[in-house]
């Protein structure tokens, strides 16, 4: 399979160049169809994300096709192709298969194990299918890549550990509460990080949600975005008594949640734990708050420690995932090699079978008195001869395909047995 992948990613190209090359869905359809119309590729798929722009393609001359496709892509995006050529990487054949599997399994991502890339690859595949630029080779490759990605996620824990502050906050909340369904959340401040943490909590079933901010209009705006309720800033004690999780991120120079305030609401909580996620710098929650019974407080440094530990854990799991990918690449290449030689094996068997049938028919025409037993014996003997003749070339074809070099043997078998010629000699 003359397969290649070429592209740029966060590993070798600055974000400015990646932004210039990135293609949105509507434009991507046009680019794909234009590339296919040039005739330099038989199949093509373009993966365009914030961290990579890659072309996966099947072509008779991969080097020529790679240059042509990226000239075309650069022309569409108004980018100087010379600036891209210096950083462009290319993988062919087995290395291209390995790269596709690693990308889909999030082993080549900026953040190991992040889940978004698999969906992005699936979207790119679906779009290429709709543009009719997916053929049997890329269909086989990406169908298997999706299966490998799923296997990596189910057989390793690479995606299990939170590697962002907002996810780490949710992970800690899960440890404190038996479950997050029905747990009330209060946002104190309306920053982006606190909003993201709140969204993750809501995704886990936390509800209801309240927003307190010194700017009332911003509190109302964020509350509407999160299907929550805005709370006046001076009513914080009332809100603290009602919720289970508080996310604080105001940007205030001094703590806005004091130990004295929290201690006054503890009796009304009747033993329910109160969890503070303080992601403000300087901190929003007074440092003595977590000395109160049933109160848990984590600041940005605590969360970063969790994130750093989880990143190390993901790196350990990545070793297991890489070994799994290597096994899957080896199995895939064996299957792919068999697929590549099967048409020749079928043609060879058909060719020899046609010769066998013809010769048996001519022989029996000279033996009009042959008994059914004799006829059966001739059929059996001729079939056995054909099978013995087929054994060596079929074995060699399969061995060469699994070694990654089937083409010379395919050509030799075609030449020796006249598979490209008619069958009536």
Q: Which of 245-254, 304-313, 322-331 is predicted least confidently?
A: 304-313
Report, as an integer, the average pLDDT of 182-187. 96
Q: What is the pLDDT of residue 232?
A: 95
Report, as an integer, the average pLDDT of 226-255. 93
Domains observed in the chain = 3-161 (3.30.460.30), 165-302 (3.40.50.720), 336-417 (no CATH)
SS3 label, residue 244: coil
SS3 label, residue 185: strand
Residue 54 above 70 pLDDT?
yes
Distance CA 356, CA 38 (A): 45
**297 a catalytic residue:** no
Report, as an integer, the average pLDDT of 268-296. 92
- β-strand partners of 130: none
Q: What is the pLDDT of residue 422?
A: 41
Distance CA 74, CA 158 (A): 35
- β-strand partners of 274: 295
Q: Which of 59-63, 130-134, 164-168, 324-328 is predicted least confidently?
A: 164-168
128 confidence band (pLDDT: 50, 70, 90): very high
Better pLDDT: 153 or 23: 153
Report, as an integer, the average pLDDT of 288-313. 89
Q: What is the pLDDT of residue 2?
A: 82
Report, as an integer, the average pLDDT of 361-374. 91
Q: HEC states along 317-368?
A: HHHHHHHHHHHHHHHHHHHHHHHHHHHHHHHHHHHHHHHHHHHHHHHHHCCC
Report, as an integer, the average pLDDT of 297-316. 87
Answer whether 0.95 is exceeded by the pTM: no
Burial class (CB in 10 A: 0-12, 13-18, 19+), 215: exposed
Q: What is the pLDDT of residue 402?
A: 63
Among 50, 74, 131, 297, which one carries the catalytic annotation? 50
Interhelix angle 407-417/300-365, rounded to 10 degrees, is 10
Residue 183 above 50 pLDDT?
yes
Residue 398 above 50 pLDDT?
yes
The values of phi and psi at residue 308, to 5°, are -60, -40
416 confidence band (pLDDT: 50, 70, 90): confident
Task: Render pLDDT for 65-122 as a digit per residue (tens, 0 to 9).
Answer: 999 889 889 988 888 888 898 899 999 989 999 999 999 999 998 878 888 899 999 9
Q: What is the pLDDT of residue 340?
A: 66
Query: Which token pair is 246?
Result: 């508080």
Q: What is the pLDDT of residue 237?
A: 92
Strands 245-248 and 295-299: unpaired
Compute CA distances 270 → 85, 240, 241, 265, 294, whole Å: 66, 13, 10, 10, 10
């Amino acid at each position: 399979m003359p397969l290649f992948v070429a592209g740029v990613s966060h590993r070798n190209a600055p974000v400015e160049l990646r932004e210039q090359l990135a293609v949105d869905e509507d434009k991507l359809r046009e680019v794909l169809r234009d590339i296919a119309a040039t005739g330099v590729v038989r199949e093509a798929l373009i993966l365009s994300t914030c961290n990579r722009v890659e072309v996966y393609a099947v072509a008779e001359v991969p080097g020529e096709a790679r240059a042509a496709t990226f000239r075309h892509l650069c022309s569409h995006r108004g980018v100087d192709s010379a600036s891209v050529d210096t950083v462009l990487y290319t993988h062919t054949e087995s290395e291209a298969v390995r790269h596709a599997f690693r990308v889909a399994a999030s082993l080549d991502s900026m953040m190991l194990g992040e889940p978004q890339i698999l969906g992005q690859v699936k979207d790119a595949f679906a779009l290429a299918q709709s543009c009719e630029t997916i053929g049997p080779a890329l269909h086989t490759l990406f169908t298997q890549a999706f299966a490998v990605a799923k296997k990596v996620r189910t057989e390793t824990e690479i995606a299990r550990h939170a590697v962002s502050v907002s996810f780490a906050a949710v992970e800690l909340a899960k440890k404190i509460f038996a479950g997050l369904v029905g747990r009330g959340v209060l946002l104190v401040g309306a920053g982006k990080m606190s909003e993201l943490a709140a969204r993750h909590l809501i995704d886990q079933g936390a509800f209801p949600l309240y927003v307190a901010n010194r700017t009332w209009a911003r509190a109302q705006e964020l509350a509407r975005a999160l299907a929550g309720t805005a709370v006046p800033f001076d009513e914080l004690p009332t809100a603290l008594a009602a919720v289970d999780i508080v996310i604080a991120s105001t940007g205030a120079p001094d703590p806005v949640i004091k130990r004295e305030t929290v201690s006054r609401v503890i009796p009304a909580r009747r033993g329910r734990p109160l969890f503070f996620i303080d992601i403000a710098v300087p901190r929003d929650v007074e440092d003595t708050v977590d000395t109160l019974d049933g109160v848990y407080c984590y600041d940005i440094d605590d969360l970063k420690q969790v994130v750093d530990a989880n990143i190390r854990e993901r790196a350990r799991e990545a070793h297991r995932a890489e070994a799994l990918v290597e096994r899957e690449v080896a199995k895939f290449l064996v299957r792919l090699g068999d697929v590549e030689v099967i048409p020749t094996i079928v043609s060879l068997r058909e060719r020899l079978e046609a010769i066998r049938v013809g010769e048996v028919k001519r022989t029996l025409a000279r033996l009009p008195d042959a008994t059914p037993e004799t006829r059966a014996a001739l059929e059996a003997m001729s079939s056995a001869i054909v099978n013995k003749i087929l054994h060596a070339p079929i074995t060699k074809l399969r061995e060469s395909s699994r070694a990654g070099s089937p083409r010379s043997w395919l050509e030799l078998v075609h030449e020796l047995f006249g598979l490209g010629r008619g069958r009536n000699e």
